[in-house]
Structure 1
């Protein structure tokens, strides 16, 4: 018996376990389906793609995407302590003030959430109105210093866009280098930042290699979870709360396996209905990437990162190509001047990045392209089987709304314009499988052919529909969801930092604490 049982040791769960166990009077059990994060490739930033489709990845795919020529897209999710923060590209982006204010949930405006971003943060640039220092989570400038990344920012400025050295500062618009969740050139996941320093707490238990199959509900209240480690059935009881931090795909799957979800689906699978909640698993949102790939002859891409010299520099200095997170630089743009905030993020990486991250680089290359930040299309997550080890049925419905495809065309035109600038010309002479032309029709066809997820799923257990503003599951006592699935809408940017902030706030909600005293005004990414 524990006071709190947290399911999922990832971007949210590790934070929650660390914060809740600060009180020595409560007992916390964190349950992770995967192993501890001891694999060396986790901690070498440039090796993140080598973790795809390994034992550390849930290795999901979409169902046939009806608006992408029936293609199935790869969806990596971390299955290891630290979750996806142990296998992602480490970009620290909060999103835009407008995102949180538009959620229209009490306590979740940007001004109310900013102190939680700052509480986590240990920014190497120091503290200011927008940033924190001294928190558990390292936020650092990149150390790879690839000349292609520098050239990309210069080309964007040549194309008429502003430079921006802090996307989490006064404004989000413009181009520059991303700050990263790294310390001394090594990955800073939520496991290394929040969990490892507190593993010796006697009131904190961490169970790994234990896949939870369902939440136990008695008399309308969650009282524990049950699952398997290999063939051993294990039940963990929760005196106060069960907290699902299993992620945007797995949290709704677990709710449905526990009888909380659409009654028609549960009934068809023979799962007893505890609560008919048709919105569990709905409203699935994500960002897509539409990459442009440019092979070239300059031996400076990540293809050359693993040389003995680079390896030694990584070990001795924590610098060089092995510290590359992939998309080292990028930018935020409004495809329509009338928009109140950016609707496209550009991501640029000094590597040949193909097949949704599963392609093996065969040449030195530079890859960049637009990611659509405010999709109108949405999908769903549902059970494919009553067997809890079966993967869920995921359908994102990318480009179901024609307006998303219009944005994609406008964003590709901007990308091609940047590619044609003088600063990038040494690296963009010969595109790899480019659009047939720059006509609307050919750019649309290109987008449908190469679009893939950039791995930012959210909103399947959204506040206001599945959970309330305190993240409690509506209609069930003693059960919360704390992860990216509670976002009413996906934010304008990478989702790891917002997920950590959600967990920070949730920890205070659970403990009955007030927000941190620092309520600095101004607001990052205000414009």
Structure 2
């Protein structure tokens, strides 16, 4: 006998967990969550520094390889994605960023031109951010204090992080006490989704409190083969796990939340997407939507790495007596270096027009750190890495099917820095933050800037082409759009165009990427999608629900 649920959520990540919990809590619905990955309960996932163990190889990560990038001299690089309940929120650096009001007002300007009448402006999404947030310091009109997601200041701040902040201030940037506040501009310390050193992932925040609720069913190790569509309506899901091939039905809606690389893959496997692409793999076309898998956006990131002239930063903190001391401090007091994911300080700047909205985000990591495809480029030593990120990139990539096999990785071509404006902005960001290494207190602690070796245009361009990588924020591959936009996959209510009872609630849905990290926006999207399913739409209804 086929199981039947009210709703089925495909993907238990940042967005999917939030959507499922909202449907159970508010709607009293019977919800099935199908998650391809592992359980989130593991010490490496709980401890912030675990990210450094996972990012270069772990069962909790899936490593997508890009297609050779011609504009990067044929480079192939990794796009790691979470393979665990909680998704990116279970494996990320926990930086809590929401983006800025203008990001969402731009969505609203675009989407209010549809006939859906749903607002996506800052005033529409802020109630969601406030409702989910339990901030341990900020209690005001912009922040919440009794939500499920714990948000805290850094549990530990290394001297290198403090010196970075002071050195960027020496370049004229103001100190910012809240990057999610009235303005993004400036330098300061991030807030994080943890409390006393323990990660507050969407799995812990949204799903763990419902573990004994009979209305929530979670199945791990479940790889979705396709959404079952009958008469242009989503009626169930076919998936594979260790038991074999399974089919489940739903009386309500199927919600896709598998991430910006896998959500378009599942849509195409289900017969929804570019008709030529589906025909190539022998998949019957149910709904031709050419925008599926297009509009791939990601924040490009490039490092600046330097050696210190003394024992500064986190190098060797995971060895010998230091590891023992730090472990005891963390276990007994929930403090010390183990409470840090490495990133503590950061900045948002506009190198060309300082008083306009920032174009570059920076992350300060008090260690010599490079991605796994560049580990041989720089030796381990005491030092500092600052990565620069273009926050509103113009480059667009794409995701295609590799085959009709649900277990096959999709074909991914992100095209990072392919648009010349992105390359120019990254060069300006690299030049600006390279100056920070020779300013303020860092000038007295840096022995040598290892990469990039100089700040002329030719050197910086070559450096960017060699080292650019994902900031782990893929988005936009099943975007919401106005009526008449042939590349829009969704309407403003996150419904797949042409198919009833099928929605997308992860970062695939966004028409453009927000300025900053994407974990918090993904959770907001999940909750918003659940509310739209439940018929809750206005800011007043959100506050009262």
TM-score (norm 2): 0.92
Query: 2:374 touches 2:467 (CA, 8 Å); kept in 1?
Result: no
Cα deviation for residue 49 of structure 1 reads: 2.3
Query: 1:114 touches 1:519 (CA, 8 Å); kept in 2?
Result: no
Cα deviation for residue 144 of structure 1 reads: 1.7
Alignment partners' CA distance in 2, 1:111 and 1:339: 24
1:101 counterpart (95, 100, 105): 105
Q: CA RMSD in A?
A: 1.7
Cα deviation for residue 126 of structure 1 reads: 4.2
Structure 1 residue runs of 5 or longer lacking an equivalent are 521-527
Per-residue deviation, residues 230-282 of structure 1 (Å, max 9, x unmatched): 35111111111110000100100100011101100110111111111110010
Q: How does 1:253-272 map to 2 (within 5 A)?
A: 253-272=265-284
Question: What is the match of residue 401 of structure 2?
Answer: 383
Alignment partners' CA distance in 2, 1:147 and 1:87: 25
Q: How does 1:451-466 map to 2 (within 5 A)?
A: 451-464=468-481, 465-466=488-489
1:508 maps to 2:527: no
Q: How does 1:85-234 map to 2 (within 5 A)?
A: 85-103=89-107, 104=109, 105-106=111-112, 107-230=119-242, 232-234=244-246
* Corresponding residue pairs, total: 519
Query: 1:331 touches 1:347 (CA, 8 Å); kept in 2?
Result: yes
Query: 2:275 touches 2:289 (CA, 8 Å); kept in 1?
Result: yes
Cα deviation for residue 304 of structure 1 reads: 3.0
Alignment partners' CA distance in 2, 1:280 and 1:305: 45
**Counterpart secondary structure, 2:33:** strand
1:70 maps to 2:74: yes
1:477 maps to 2:500: yes
Report the CA distance shift for 1:25/1:158 in structure 2 as closer, same or farther (over 3 A): closer
Alignment partners' CA distance in 2, 1:284 and 1:255: 15
Q: How does 1:210-359 map to 2 (within 5 A)?
A: 210-230=222-242, 232-306=244-318, 307-337=323-353, 340-355=356-371, 359=375
Report the CA distance shift for 1:206/1:231 in structure 2 as closer, same or farther (over 3 A): closer
Alignment partners' CA distance in 2, 1:426 and 1:248: 43
Report the CA distance shift for 1:338/1:322 in structure 2 as closer, same or farther (over 3 A): closer
1:54 maps to 2:58: yes
TM-score (norm 1): 0.95
Per-residue deviation, residues 283-341 of structure 1 (Å, max 9, x unmatched): 00011111011122533433333311100111111111111122211110113328842
Cα deviation for residue 98 of structure 1 reads: 1.0
Question: What is the match of residue 41 of structure 1?
Answer: 44
Alignment partners' CA distance in 2, 1:449 and 1:200: 50
Report the CA distance shift for 1:382/1:451 in structure 2 as closer, same or farther (over 3 A): same
Question: What is the match of residue 495 of structure 1?
Answer: 518
Report the CA distance shift for 1:404/1:356 in structure 2 as closer, same or farther (over 3 A): farther
Alignment partners' CA distance in 2, 1:519 and 1:222: 27
Cα deviation for residue 194 of structure 1 reads: 1.0
Structure 2 residue runs of 5 or longer lacking an equivalent are 113-118, 482-487
Question: What is the match of residue 415 of structure 1?
Answer: 433
Per-residue deviation, residues 329-382 of structure 1 (Å, max 9, x unmatched): 111011332884211101111121113587397222210031001111100011
